[in-house]
Amino acid sequence: MEDIIKKACLAKKAGIVLSKADTVQKNKCLSHMMDAISEDTEYILNENQKDMAAGRLKGMSEAMLDRLLLDKKRLGGIIEGLGQLITLKDPVGEVINMNKMPNGLLIGQARVPLGVIGIIYEARPNVTVDAASLCIKSGNAVILRGGSEAVNSNTALVKSLRKALAASGLPEDSISIIEDTSRETAIRFMKMNEYIDVLIPRGGAGLIKSAVENSTIPVIQTGTGNCHVYVDSYGDLDMAEKIVINAKVSRPGVCNAEEKLLVHKDVADEFIPRIVKSLRENGVEVRGCEKALKLSGDIKLADDIDWHTEYLDYIIAVKVVDSIAEAIEHINKYGTKHSEAIVTENYSNSRKFLAEVDAAAVYINASTRFTDGFEFGLGAEIGISTQKLHARGPMGLKELTSTKYVIYGNGQVR
C-alpha cells in the first residue's frame, strides 16, 4: 500500500513540472513514445502472449480475448494514433471567452491541465497508451491501474512510455502503473483524493458502479455501451443490414458495438428473417421479443434482463416496435447513454431521433462503431463519457483540461 502512496506523491510532483511543459517538449515526448514502442515491439508482444495464454486458461470468451490481443497491426495503429496526436492543437494555455467589462477589466478563461488523473480499466492494453499519451499532451500526470487480465502487457507498455519520458527530459513519474490488481488496492486507489484530481473508470458496469460508490475522487463515468440500432419504416434495408452487421460483428467486445436491434413493424416481416440469417452466418446468437420469434425460427426468447445487458459478445437482442416513439422510449429506458443509431430516409424522423434520444453520440444512417477518439479526429480517447457534466462522448485533449479565469486590469478597485 505504501508503494501506491509513493507513486501518487511522485505523480503529484511530476504533474507540476508537466503542467509547465511547452507543446514542443510534449510532442517530442510523443515522438519518443512512437520510437520506444516500435523498438520494444517483440518484448511487448511476448508479454501480451502471456496474458493471452492466461486468459485462455481462465476460459475468457473469444470477444474478450480479442479485446486483450496485441499484434503488430494493432501496435502499428497505436503508433499511428501517437503520430496523429502530435499534429493536434495543444489546448493548454488557450484563452477563451475574453470580454471587456464596463470598468475596463478584460476577463477570460484559460485552459489548464486537470492535474493528476487516475485511470482504472479492464482488458484492453491499448488504453494504456491512449490514456498516457493524451494525459501527457494535455499536461496531466497519470496513474494507471489496469486489470489482472492485461497486467503483463500494460507493464511492458508503461516501461516503453517511461523510457520516452526520460528521453524527452520530462519526469518519468508523469506516467506510473499500479501492478497490484487486487480489489483492496483498487478501493484504496479510489480514495486518494489528496493526490489524484480526477478518476476515470473505463470498463464494464461493475467497475463503473464500484468507482461511483467507493471513490472520494471526482469520477467521470465512461464505457458501458448498451447500444441500439433502430431500423425505421422508412429505412433502406440494404443499408440497414450493412450497418447492423458492422455494428455487431466487427468487434463485439468493445463498448461502441451494437447490442440491441429495434425494427419498425412495417418492415419487420421483410427485414427480421433477412437480418437474422445474416447475423447467424456471422456466428451471432439472436434473442428477441415474441413478435420477432414469430418472424424467424432462429431466435431465442429474450427476457427483461436481456434488454438491460451489455453482452460484449456475439449475442444480440431484437425487438419489433410499433413506432419511432416506442423505439425512442425503449432506448431511453434501457440504453446506457453511449451510442444510438437510426436507419431512415425520412428527414422528420431523423430529426426527431436526434432531438429525443438521450445519448453521448446519436447517428443517422451510420454504424455505432465510429464512437471512437481516433475516428472523431481526436487522436485517441481516454474513454467515452456517458455522463453530462464536464465532458460527454469521446474524451480527447480538450476534455482533459479545466479552465481558470484570467483577469487583466490597469488599477481597477471595487
Encode pLDDT of 126-159 as tens digits.
Answer: 999 999 999 999 999 999 999 999 999 999 999 9
Looking at the fold, whether 33 and 107 belong to one and the same domain comes out as yes
Looking at the fold, whether 146 and 283 belong to one and the same domain comes out as no
CB atoms inside a 10 Å sphere around CB 185: 16
What would the mean pLDDT of 170-183 be, rounded to a whole number? 94
Q: What is the pLDDT of residue 18?
A: 97
Looking at the fold, whether 206 and 337 belong to one and the same domain comes out as no
Looking at the fold, whether 143 and 201 belong to one and the same domain comes out as yes
Looking at the fold, whether 159 and 243 belong to one and the same domain comes out as no
What would the mean pLDDT of 348-369 be, rounded to a whole number? 97
How many structural domains compose the chain? 2
Q: What is the pLDDT of residue 1?
A: 55
CB atoms inside a 10 Å sphere around CB 244: 25
Give, in order, the Cα–Cα distances in Å from 319 to each of 246, 264, 286, 306: 19, 9, 11, 11
- Span of 13-27, 144-158, 348-362, 387-401 with lowest mean pLDDT: 387-401
249: left (phi over 0), alpha (psi -120 to 50) or beta: alpha
Looking at the fold, whether 67 and 198 belong to one and the same domain comes out as yes
Enclosing domain of residue 391: 2-222+382-408
In this structure, is residue 311 part of a structural domain?
yes
Position with higher pLDDT, 8 vs 3:
8
- The CATH number that applies at residue 110 is 3.40.605.10
| pTM for this prediction | 0.83
| Residue tagged 501517437 (cell numbers) | 82
Looking at the fold, whether 285 and 150 belong to one and the same domain comes out as no
In this structure, is residue 414 part of a structural domain?
no
Looking at the fold, whether 257 and 318 belong to one and the same domain comes out as yes
In this structure, is residue 96 part of a structural domain?
yes
DSSP conformation class of 345: S
- The CATH number that applies at residue 263 is 3.40.309.10
pLDDT tens digits along 224-268: 899 999 999 999 999 999 999 999 999 998 899 999 999 999 999
In this structure, is residue 101 part of a structural domain?
yes
Looking at the fold, whether 32 and 74 belong to one and the same domain comes out as yes
pLDDT tens digits along 41-68: 999 999 999 999 999 999 998 888 988 9
Looking at the fold, whether 286 and 197 belong to one and the same domain comes out as no
Looking at the fold, whether 216 and 319 belong to one and the same domain comes out as no
Cβ atoms of 153 and 44 within 8 Å: the answer is: yes
Looking at the fold, whether 255 and 302 belong to one and the same domain comes out as yes
SS3 360: coil
In this structure, is residue 95 part of a structural domain?
yes
* Helical pair 237-249 and 265-281, crossing angle rounded to 10 deg: 40
pLDDT tens digits along 374-386: 788 776 778 888 8
pLDDT tens digits along 209-224: 888 899 999 999 887 8
In this structure, is residue 365 part of a structural domain?
yes
Please tell me the distance from the alpha carbon of residue 335 to that of residue 308, in angstroms, as a whole number.
7
DSSP 74-141: HHHHHHHHHHHHHHSPP-TT-EEEEEE-TTS-EEEEEEEE--EEEEEE-S-THHHHHHHHHHHHTT-E
In this structure, is residue 377 part of a structural domain?
no
In this structure, is residue 376 part of a structural domain?
no
